[in-house]
Amino acid sequence: MNAPTHRRSARSVVIMLVSLAVYGALDLGSKEWALDNLSRARAGEPPPVCVPDEHGGVVYQRIPLQSRALIPGVMRLTYAENCGAAFSMLRTAPAWVRGSVFGVATVGASVMLMLMFVRGVGGKMFAASVPFILSGALGNLADRIRHGFVVDFFQVDPALFVYPVFNVADIVIVIGVGLLLIDGMLKPRPADKSELARGPSPS
């Protein structure tokens, strides 16, 4: 039988919302910095947003500037426009498909996580994971609504290995999912039926 849950206090909800706002501001602020410092506007009419050409490629709305070393030999700052989800999934799908899938998935998952948090589901790790996941998901959704694409700018140095360019939202989502997994592993295991049948051991 599952242990009963208790609604989280108003203080816990406030802390979660403040954390959500801080993580979200860090994500959106860093993306604005990348737009201003790692790219520049095109002269004239920009190309269609996230529309593949005859070769399947997508021309960026802004012109990337030269990549910068963040941690030499490890991490670089490289402007990129992601029309898809993680690892550029659905990058070449029609705009209405991307908007529907990303919008419904983000709103649905956000509402579910909020309800689970308020109802007291999970332990401390679950509670800590919620603002990470929500801020990342909503931050990337905000980019898609404003720009039609997600601004990415962290790049693992290609000399190490090739990995998709990512952003702060991706980082906090990974942290949140990691906390969720830890929370699941910390849950007490149900007692074995044979142990229940034997009853408590004599003292």
Full-model pTM: 0.81
User: 50 CB contacts (<8 Å, ≥6 apart)?
Assistant: 58, 81, 83, 91, 95, 98, 148, 149
Q: Which of 3, 12, 4, 2 is nearest to 118 (CA)?
A: 12
Amino acid at 127: A
Low-confidence ranges of the chain (pLDDT < 70): 1-5, 84-103, 187-203
Virtual torsion, Cα 97, 100, 102, 104, nearest 10 deg: -150
pLDDT, position 124: 92
pLDDT of residue 106: 81
Query: Could you identify the residue written with the tokens 């929500």?
Result: 134
Look at residue 123 in the predicted model and tell me its pLDDT: 92
Q: How much is the pLDDT for 57?
A: 78
Tell me what pLDDT residue 145 has.
87
Residue 93 is predicted with a pLDDT of 52
- What is residue 102's predicted lDDT score, i.e. its pLDDT? 61
Q: What is the pLDDT of residue 86?
A: 47
Active site positions, annotated: 152, 170
